[in-house]
Structure 1
Amino acid sequence: MNIYKASDYEDMGRIAAKIIAAEVVLKPDCVLGLATGSSPVSTYEHLIKWYEEGYLDFSKVKTVNLDEYVGLSEDNDQSYHYFMDTCLFSRINIDKNNTYIPDGVCKDAEAECDDYEKKIENLGGIDIQVLGIGQNGHIGFNEPGKSFVKRTHVVELTKSTIEANKRFFEDVSMVPTSAITMGIGTIMKARKIIMLVNGEGKADILARAFKGDITPEVPASILQLHPDVTIVADEAALSRMNEI
């Protein structure tokens, strides 16, 4: 496990973007596993800046996203399709036919999950997977439970996750209660993982995930078994790493 201490959120994004940019330069047709939410926004902004300056070419890059809310169409401004298009895809030269996100309004969710797994396999797997971490230790939308779910699946979101995500919606009643998410096994197959964490509010769960027991009650703890994990976090987020 590698740990990079960032001076602030902007620096966190810059450090993570450098790692991703190096992969794009060295392997122009790489497969990037991408995340949504507030954690990766700065990372995407740096990648966009370097593309605009002529340092990066995304024309051959493929991407797969971690998850999507069930019930939100691609044009819904709270869907992860919309987020990725607004925050990254529409601002770089990526072929949108090479970008993959679960279909939140599919007629057959189980079939969609199976198809998503096949898409990742057909791409040759994920070279770098970007992750955040939820307050309850979830990665993607893999919530705490009694076991680690391996494959892409439909998950019912916990009250704490719904509460954490209500800031993106007009009212908590509008937050979807389920999502399609990559499974833990799918995430663990990524050749490299970058976890972005900032703020004192994530200090406790980050320490529990990487210094505590490996348990499905803290889904991110499974990453202790991954051979190539890089944590990019600010000082506040890392403040408890030596306490557990």
Structure 2
Amino acid sequence: MGMKIQYFSDYEGMSTKAAQLIIDAVKAKPELLFCAATGGSPTGMYKALKEAAQSDESLFEKMKVIKLDEWGDVDSKHPVSCEYYLQEHLVNPLKITPDRYMGFSADAENPKEECVRVSCVLQEKGPIDICILGIGTNGHIGFNEPNLQMTDHCHVAKLAPSTLLNGMVINMTKKPTYGLTLGVQDILSAKHIIMLVAGSGKEEATKHLVSGKITNDWPATHLWSHPNVDCLILG
């Protein structure tokens, strides 16, 4: 199957398509493990999932959620944290109970130990059934930044300058000093990946993604090595 690329003329259409892929998967396997990304790209999709949950309260009652990544050195209650975003857009609307929600803590005192903890959780609860991804302006997925070598598993990531211009943190006076993220192999171990490409400044990253050439300079291109990717592009 490989990567299936679809283009959408409007954000709502892209979001609805992504949500339907998830709803179909949850109906087939209610207890699936869902890896959740944050940011502007998936917000519309989460809104559509919320609407689905309102019309069928039992739809997501067994689904498990793991966070893709988290800003380091940011309070989990701060509005820019991935934790705050996911509580607002996914966890609370879909009534994901604490026993079905896992991932990096933004408040972790020891980031490396936190990565080991999440690796163990993923090993126990995984593999991921559906992984949601956005793409950074530099082609990153999660906080897997362009590098000479990709990191396979959960790790503390040095954030690229372009990542610190992300809309979630651009206005912070004290920027995050690192990121916590699943590694490239953790992502590629997912059974199904849904990549959402939306937002400004991503033209270059998108061009490299759709080219099909795998390179560490544009980490998202590694998705071409996966057998089941839906790539939904706005534009």
TM, length-normalised to structure 2? 0.93
Which of 45, 51, 71 in structure 2 is aligned with 1:43? 45
1:24/1:56 contact within 8 Å kept = no
**Aligned equivalents of 2:178 and 2:224: distance in 1?**
27
Aligned partners of 1:210 and 1:223 also within 8 Å: no
Match for residue 225 of structure 2? 225
Counterpart position of 1:62:
64
1:156 to 155, 158, 180: 158
Map of 2:193 onto structure 1: 193
Q: State the partner residue of 2:168.
A: 168
Aligned partner of residue 159 in structure 1, secondary structure: coil
1:232 Cα deviation from its structure 2 partner: 0.9
TM-score of the two chains, using structure 1 as the length reference: 0.90
How far apart are the structure 2 equivalents of 1:46 and 1:131?
A: 17
Equivalent positions of 1:90-105 (< 5 A) are: 90-105=92-107
Q: Deviations over 1:122-152 (max 9, x none)?
A: 1131001000000100000111110011010
Given that 1:32 and 1:126 are in contact with CA atoms closer than 8 Å, whether structure 2 keeps it comes out as yes
Structure 2 match to 1:122:
124
The question of whether the paired residues in 2 share the 8 Å contact of 1:25 and 1:56 is answered with: no
Structure 2, unaligned stretches of length 5 or more? none
Q: Distance in 2 between matches of 1:199 and 1:106?
A: 30
The higher-RCO structure (CA 8 Å, 6+ apart) is 2
Give the unaligned 5+ runs of structure 1.
237-244
Alpha-carbon contact 2:83-2:106 (below 8 Å) kept: no
| Change over 3 Å in CA distance of 1:191–1:212 after alignment to 2 | closer
Shift of 1:161: 0.9
Aligned to 2:203: 203
Moved more, 205-214 or 186-195: 205-214
Shift of 1:53: 1.2
Q: Shift of residue 213 of structure 1? A: 2.9
What do the CA deviations read for 1:102-134 (whole angstroms, capped 9, x no partner)?
A: 012212221211111111121131001000000
| Correspondence for 1:140 | 142
Residues 148 and 184 in structure 1, CA contact (< 8 A), matched pair in contact too: yes
- What is the one-letter code of the residue matched to 2:154? T
